[in-house]
Amino acid sequence: MYPILARYDSIFIYSYTVVLAVGVLLSTGLTARLARRRPAAKWFDALLVAFFAALLGGRLGFVLGQWTYFQEHPSEIWQIGLGGLSYFGALFAGLAALFLWTRFLGRSFYQYAALFSPGLALLSTFGWLACWFEGCAYGRETVIGTFAADLPDGYGVFALRYQTQLIGMLLSLAAFIAILWLFKRAKPAVLFWAALLLISTAHLVPDLLRGDPAWMLGGMRLDSLFDGLMIAVSLLMLQYFVRKE
């Protein structure tokens, strides 16, 4: 893990921030290119609305999930550069903001959601890579195997753990490739729900192997339950829109 890439006097350059910023730039560039194939008026405005809502929601979700720590370190609540965004907080806030923006302007939610889907999958890939550098979303202890390595937890304690960040990154990359393939072939609503299904599946698998603290419900991680819910909803909506076509 390499949480700090460089230091200049008292200024630290954190790997989490740099990797996530690269992911945002590449995702935006990709969306700009795809917008030529699926034109959407003022798509960049919509992207900014969704992005800042996702950033706020992601940070809020992370802080609430680690509230015991942040009660003792309140000055770090808004220090996003140190790492720490909730995937579901970002996803739900971003989609809600995009939905409200399209409703307010009388535009199609699915037109914009479909356009942003490949970029979302690419950004998810970089999110896992950022966690690999930072050490967040670490795996629980296991035995020697293909996806096991000597890795630290959030306190720097090394043990043989699942490489959840690597698994998440590879699965998200596969989801990105599949969504990009569908981009030319599927209608907006089908593309969006298929993308959400693929991204949620890519998120669920490493979630089941994670060892970092999380809210629990019925003996299961709450984020895993959310992933399962998103997969179920996506399958139902896909069935509906495919039949509708």
What percent of the chain has pLDDT above 90?
A: 67
- Compute the average pLDDT of residues 21-28: 96
**8 A C-beta contact, residue 142 and residue 217:** no
Q: Among 59, 53, 68, which residue's Cα sits nearest to residue 87?
A: 59
Rounded to two decimals, what is the model's pTM? 0.90
Convert the pLDDT of each residue in 195-241 to its tens digit: 999 999 999 999 999 998 888 888 899 999 999 999 999 999 999 99
Q: Is 86 exposed, middle or buried (0-12, 13-18, 19+ CB in 10 A)?
A: buried
Convert the pLDDT of each residue in 77-123 to its tens digit: 777 666 677 889 999 999 999 999 999 999 999 999 999 999 999 99
**Alpha-helical runs (H) found in 9-163:** 15-34, 43-65, 67-72, 87-105, 109-134
